[in-house]
Amino acid sequence: MTAATQYETLFRRVGSNPILSASDWPYPVHTVFNAGATTLPDGTTLLLCRVEDRTGLSHLCAARSKDGIGGWIIDRQPTLSSDPENHPEELWGVEDPRITFVPDLGRYAIAYTAFGKGGPGVSLALTEDFITFERCGLVMQPDDKDAALLPRRIDGMYALVHRPIADSGAHVWISYSPDLRSWGGHRMMLQARRGGWWDANKVGLSPPLIETERGWLMLYHGVRSNAAGSLYRLGVALFDRNDPAELLLRGDEWIFGPEEPYETKGDVANVTFPCGYTIGPDGDTLNLYYGAADTCIALATGSIREILDWLDRHSS
Ligand code: BMA
């Protein structure tokens, strides 16, 4: 008798998952999840975590660690809170940050969901140190979320990947700007597949795009709604390096999804929702930080090279 064939494992969870939970916080909070990630110049991993308190609204709080796994030093108060007086679009909180270091600005750009009376929209803030922030305000009006800036300009323009909701569904788009304020040149990048597919109902960018020699690698969340609710799993697609709206390859199957108890049980069951990654010193190891069940933060590691190989064998 031969052993049953297994699906390939592209991401391995670390043994200490979940790596951050509400009980780690220096002030009372309900849940911590959906964190943006970056590596600071001294090698420290910084996570900008979405934190929900008992008002039900979210703010962002920074956690720093030397090895990106443990020993987190967490800001003693919210790092970036909503500012509804100046930004009414943030009346109901700020959520799901994605961080991109932009060398030509010399600063980190944080794209986050601003939640207000009009619904969720996309806002941008710039920072050098994750202590003070310059807010650019709402750059994509509701309904829109799941956004991240590209680290470099394309044909002289900044590029933002985001996920507007229209009557036709929830698909990933890219838009361009000369100054991070005025946006145009909108093009659709990736469509929800419809029908019975695992990514039939909604797709959205997960962490920021990853630039590889073969193109821009996108890890995206695909949502399938069934009688029990919604399942949030992770898929992968590759886009042209010079024209990121141009889809080259799209994986047929999901590559990561809820399996462990901390992913299948929580405030929203069956959710794995990465908003950030860091890349190891070898230039290939991908440390993927994801919100689990909208309750805690977990880490899984993969290899960019293995993901690209898999994509060659599993794309339609
Ligand atoms: C999405 C976002 C995420 C959340 C996910 C699952 O629409 O709002 O913040 O993690 O739903 O609830």
Query: Which ligand 1 atom is the nearest neighbour of the CA of 271?
Result: 6
* Residues 114, 120: Cα–Cα separation, whole Å: 6
CA-proximal residue: ligand 1, atom 2 (nearest):
96
Instruction: Provide the total of helices (H) and of strands (E) in the chain, helices listed first.
Output: 2, 22
pLDDT, position 280 = 97
pLDDT, position 168 = 85
pLDDT, position 316 = 76
pLDDT, averaged per 10 consecutive residues of the chain (316 residues), comes to 78 98 98 98 98 98 98 98 97 98 98 98 98 97 98 98 93 98 97 95 98 98 93 97 98 97 97 98 98 98 98 93
pTM confidence score:
0.97
pLDDT, position 6 = 87
* Residues 256, 311: Cα–Cα separation, whole Å: 14
Q: Could you tell me the distance, in angstroms and rounded to a whole number, from the CA of residue 138 to the centre of ligand 1?
A: 19
Cα angle vertex 149, ends 145, 152, to 5°? 165
- Which residues, at least 6 apart from 104, have a Cβ–Cβ distance to it below 8 Å? 152, 153
Q: Could you tell me the distance, in angstroms and rounded to a whole number, from the CA of residue 56 to the centre of ligand 1?
A: 14
CA-proximal residue: ligand 1, atom 10 (nearest):
294
Q: Which residues line ligand 1 (CB under 6 A)?
A: 34, 95-96, 232, 268, 271, 273, 291, 294
Ligand 1 pocket test, candidate residues 58, 146, 264, 268, most atoms within 8 A of CB = 268
pLDDT, position 235 = 98
pLDDT, position 3 = 61
Fold assignment, 3-313: Tachylectin-2; Chain A (2.115.10)
pLDDT, position 167 = 84
Residue spans of the domains in the chain: they are 3-313
Helix (H) or strand (E) holding 312: helix 304-313
Query: Which ligand 1 atom is the nearest neighbour of the CA of 202?
Result: 7
